[in-house]
Amino acid sequence: MSNPHQLALRCLFNPPIPLSRPLLPTLAAYQQRLQDVWAKHWLTNRGDQVCELSQVLQNRLGASHVSLFCNGSLALLLGLKALELEGEVITTPFTFAATTHALHWAGLQPVFADISPDTLTLDPAAVEAAITPRTSAILGVHVFGIPCHVAALADIAARHKLKVIYDAAHAFGVEIAEQPISAFGDMSMFSLHATKLFHTAEGGLLTYKDAKLEKQLHLLQNHGISGEDTVELAGTNAKMNELQAAMGLCVLELVEEERKKRKKLVAAYAEALSAMPGVQMVLPGVEVTPSYQYVPILFSSDAALSRDVATARLRSLGIHARRYFRPLLSAVCPYDALPSSIPSNLPCSRRTVENILCLPLWGGMPDNLPEVIAKAIGS
């Protein structure tokens, strides 16, 4: 005999439910934008679409300066270069690999500090304890769109004369007490990858306060070339192209509607998971306007299933939840050899990476999914 829970678990999703699904404009809307690109025969190197998107995003994000890139990883790398940082940069091991790799490629030494259990972002006390005479900056990650402890980090940075850079890959549209997330720190990087709420298929965006960085970033992303016969520095190619920007301009028109749908789904998850022992949604504080980018949940020993058993059960139902962000970057070569990677330095990060799970979230996903997932992991 089957009980009602077991009956519900039999309804498999085929094709499987992905973690996220890109927000897409109608083909007609995209084609309309492309008509202008075709008419001008201009595909990249600061065309009209890129300039328009840059202007629109500057207003939308309330940022004094913005620069667009071909992806978020190169945006972050070139942002670090433009700031002319040296030596050590204190950062979190609980992030996507691109954060730490950007430091590596910029010739900087990552120094891992532990995260706070409330936000899963850098613990300010651990950051302060990690400062040495070689420290030049703090690279925080607003992981899952949950803001770092921005006030405490700003205070530490001011006292020790450090730069603050935020990896805001997941934080498009996030505000803290109505202040845009880009208002905090010297520079923020937003990923515009297809998996993000707002995307350009592939893409990246830097916001920053120092006007002088704009020219430097342009040189760095355009081979260091400033004129037909002038190469000023050793740059690379990291430009956004017109097809990406046209996609972004179309997607931007859909973002608010998508946010509303995701907000409802997040509320449904909260309701479905509320009475479940040992399973807790990781949510930003009440003063935060969320990005609705991910639905991270944490398992504790009171949960009916462990994180890994729950993940496997969901997968057997055709639901692709993801164990973001595993492994910790402190456990990955070459960073595992760093003194700050020693496990005793990172207890909260280690606990988190063993117990975190991100549940599917995209506007068009089935309405009953939060309930199905709650049933699957709660029994």
Asked whether 209 and 185 are in contact (CB, 8 A), the reply is no
Rounded alpha-carbon distances, angstroms, from residue 346 to 117, 300, 330: 12, 18, 9
- H/E element, 110: strand 109-112
* Number of chain residues interacting with ligand T4K (CB under 6 A): 21
Nearer to ligand T4K, 22 or 278 (CB): 22
Which pairs with CB-CB distance under 8 Å and at least 24 residues apart come from 127-134? 127/90, 127/153, 127/156, 128/156, 130/90, 130/340, 131/90, 131/156, 131/160, 131/162, 132/88, 134/86, 134/87, 134/88, 134/109
Considering only residues 104, 320, 326, 351, which one is a binding residue for ligand T4K as defined by CB under 6 A? 320
Q: Does 96 bind ligand T4K (CB under 6 A)?
A: yes
Q: Does 21 bind ligand T4K (CB under 6 A)?
A: yes
Binding mask 154-193 for ligand T4K (x = CB under 6 A): -------------x-x---------------------x-x
Nearer to ligand T4K, 135 or 188 (CB): 188
Q: Does 204 bind ligand T4K (CB under 6 A)?
A: yes
Nearer to ligand T4K, 206 or 276 (CB): 206
Q: Does 207 bind ligand T4K (CB under 6 A)?
A: no
Q: Report residue 37: phi and psi, to 5°.
A: -65, -45
Question: Measured at CB, which residue is nearest to ligand T4K?
Answer: 72
Nearer to ligand T4K, 19 or 374 (CB): 19
CA max distance for the chain: 80
Angle between helices 255-273 and 369-377 (to 10 degrees): 30
Q: CB of residue 240 vs ligand T4K: minimum separation in angstroms?
A: 11
Q: CB of residue 232 vs ligand T4K: minimum separation in angstroms?
A: 26
Considering only residues 80, 85, 89, 98, which one is a binding residue for ligand T4K as defined by CB under 6 A? 98
Considering only residues 67, 92, 95, 340, which one is a binding residue for ligand T4K as defined by CB under 6 A? 95
**Which stretches of the chain bind ligand T4K, using CB under 6 A?**
18-22, 71-73, 95-96, 98-99, 141, 167, 169, 191, 193-195, 204, 320
